[in-house]
Amino acid sequence: MPDTKQLYKIAFGLAIFTIVYNIAEGVVSTFLGFEDESLTLFGFGSDSFIEVISGLGIAHMIIRIKKNPDSKRDDFERTALKVTGYAFYLLVIGLVITSFYNIWIDHKPITTFWGLIISVLSILVMWILVAWKRKVGNQLNSEPILADANCTMVCIYMSVILLLSSGIYELFQISYIDSIGTLALSYFAFKEGKECFEKAKSDKYCGCISC
């Protein structure tokens, strides 16, 4: 088994990869979502950008606990959590309003093909990340790293929503399915935002839906 120093290095590398992946996923998803007029894909991409803010807090956390495993959450992490929480709430407001408007006007995406492709890729990547983070967290016996792995599961849930809404639309061309998928994403985004504020006020790590 790798030594503690090497394990923290792996954990930090996974945090950086998560940030970079979410940036790339956000750029591609929002662009294609806008081009294809798919609100679910656009919302999914917007969520990825917010996850970047959260990821910066996670990377900072790993550096902190590497220096002192028993240290408490610091001001940088609490600020990152609050900013992330506000961003999630703003995203929810925008997505919910647009979803109901699209249902009202019977809006249809041009295609949801790219939603299918991106969701499958995201599920595969995030599943590997969850497994790897859990392995490192267990080897270090680190509650913060294990909590981060559990929070990454939320990204898988959102990817599944994108997959289902995109797949159903491609098969049946039901106009409101894209908006229903967006509302489902909004539910998880709201939960994430709420949990960010709860964690910012305390030192507990496991506050995610999957915990």
Note the pLDDT of residue 205: 59
pLDDT at 1 over 70: no
185 lies in a domain? yes
Note the pLDDT of residue 202: 80
139 lies in a domain? yes
Note the pLDDT of residue 156: 95
pLDDT over 70, % of the chain: 95
pLDDT at 72 over 90: no
The three-state secondary structure class of 72 is coil
pLDDT at 113 over 60: yes
12 lies in a domain? yes
Looking up tokens 């407001």 gives 93
What mean pLDDT, rounded, does the chain reach?
A: 93
Q: Which two tokens stand for residue 207?
A: 């506050």
pLDDT at 98 over 90: yes
* Banded pLDDT at 211 (limits 50, 70, 90): very low
208 lies in a domain? no
191 lies in a domain? yes
Question: Which range of residues forms the domain containing residue 95?
Answer: 4-200
- Those residues with Cβ within 8 angstroms of residue 14's Cβ, 6 or more apart along the chain or in another chain: 129, 132, 133, 136
69 lies in a domain? yes
Q: How many domains does the chain have?
A: 1
pLDDT at 71 over 90: no
66 lies in a domain? yes
pLDDT tens figures, 135-173: 999 999 988 899 889 888 999 999 999 999 999 999 999
206 lies in a domain? no
Cα–Cα distance between 75 and 117 in angstroms, integer?
39
